[in-house]
Structure 1
């Protein structure tokens, strides 16, 4: 499902914005047509047919629908305009991954950023976008988006932004999941040493944090401080 709030900015999601459809939407045989002032988008779940005249500065993929909705409500699109915002609502399905690859091919020089909880599941979700899934190994080459960058919430951000009071202790599954992540072949590659460090840090910490924990620092901290800081660190201007 796609919802365009202003020309040049597109929000992407799976079936979470049906109750907010505006007058400029048409759905014909499962194909969504978004009418703007001088250009139309024609989109299917796995394909982007026409390129925007105003390419986004970056694509942000958010792990959870709740965070996705909060970012919309807090004005993320206006603050960082123009961008593309997506969510896979947890572990992404094939259509979500294929859609991201389509955008990656369409906007070859635009960063693709992933925002997840700081826990083993969050890291695992990021790796599915970047490296593919074990379950769909044969299809992975068509579903992998290798230029994905894990923006946060990084395990090292927990100390950096002083979040210890809001942490959730690991359970047995979290510990075993971390151990499994560390054994994956790509974790031994030099190019992924930062990921290795983050997961080892998380395992040694033995605690996890959710994106929403940033609100314990200050209301709207994610939008007002965290995202601007992280984007500037990777040289994205807004």
Structure 2
């Protein structure tokens, strides 16, 4: 539940989306049940798929979650809410980022975690340093049997942008993120989240128990469960 200065109360649902209000209008957040994780999704279409399946209530994870989307490059309200959650929720509750395995997806992830150049003066209220990149990653391709022939070629613009990001972010970029971005540059391949429809698992009993649903669902069950295990 989100209570606003106006007195309006926004009740969150696992199946229906709620428009994110400006952070300065939020009085407080209140939970009937503390969430087990926060999942921030790059694409609205993927977000709607997860809402349609009520993924946030999936019992296989043992904990309910909260799913947020910035519909691509996130606006100030979305970044502000993710920041607020990162400040108010205990560290045992991970904030996970699901983006495309390309330079633009990683740029979106970096905006949530490190901030943007244009708004660096407000980064203290718009960044979430403890946000974790869940996927999609190049390291997932082999593990989940994604056909190499289905990967997309990166363009020269992608290549230059990747090199620029590696140079610009420097020490602010986590080492594993740098490794993934470097791999993208070397492989000259990328993938969108939708490619998971062609994936098949090599590990994880959770995947097997959810095999009848969209491939995205079991992928997230495996990835999120692994994070929750070590939190």
Question: TM-score with structure 2 length normalisation?
Answer: 0.79
Deviation at 1:155, TM superposition (A): 1.7
Out of 152, 155, 178, the position equivalent to 1:196 is: 178
Q: Which runs of 4+ in 1 moved over 4 A?
A: 26-32
Q: Tell me the distance in 2 between the aligned counterparts of 1:95 and 1:73.
A: 23
Moved more, 226-235 or 61-70: 226-235
Q: Give the direction of change, closer, same or farther, for the CA distance of 1:209–1:30 in structure 2 (3 Å limit).
A: farther
Moved more, 27-36 or 168-177: 27-36
Matched, 1:78 2:57: yes
Structure 2: 5+ residue stretches without partners: 14-19, 201-212
Residue deviations 1:159-204 (CA, integer Å, cap 9, x gap) = 3222213211111211111111111244x46x82111111001111
Question: TM-score with structure 1 length normalisation?
Answer: 0.77
Task: Check whether the contact 2:57–2:65 (CA below 8 A) recurs between aligned residues.
Answer: no
Q: Give the direction of change, closer, same or farther, for the CA distance of 1:216–1:123 in structure 2 (3 Å limit).
A: same
Q: Tell me the distance in 2 between the aligned counterparts of 1:185 and 1:210.
A: 23
- 1:136-175 correspondence to structure 2 within 5 Å: 136-163=119-146, 164-175=148-159
Task: Check whether the contact 2:162–2:181 (CA below 8 A) recurs between aligned residues.
Answer: yes
Q: Could you say what the CA RMSD is over the residues aligned between the two structures, in angstroms?
A: 2.7
Structure 1: 5+ residue stretches without partners: 1-9, 13-25, 37-42
Q: Give the direction of change, closer, same or farther, for the CA distance of 1:125–1:138 in structure 2 (3 Å limit).
A: same
Considering fraction of residues, name the structure with more strand.
1
Q: Tell me the distance in 2 between the aligned counterparts of 1:33 and 1:123.
A: 31
Deviation at 1:48, TM superposition (A): 5.2
Task: Check whether the contact 2:42–2:72 (CA below 8 A) recurs between aligned residues.
Answer: yes
Q: Tell me the distance in 2 between the aligned counterparts of 1:33 and 1:222.
A: 28
Paired residue secondary structure (2:56) = helix
Out of 110, 114, 120, the position equivalent to 1:127 is: 110
Out of 75, 87, 100, the position equivalent to 2:69 is: 87
Task: Check whether the contact 1:48–1:103 (CA below 8 A) recurs between aligned residues.
Answer: no
Out of 87, 92, 111, the position equivalent to 1:105 is: 87
Q: Give the direction of change, closer, same or farther, for the CA distance of 1:48–1:30 in structure 2 (3 Å limit).
A: closer
Deviation at 1:112, TM superposition (A): 0.2
Q: Tell me the distance in 2 between the aligned counterparts of 1:27 and 1:142.
A: 18
Moved more, 165-174 or 142-151: 165-174
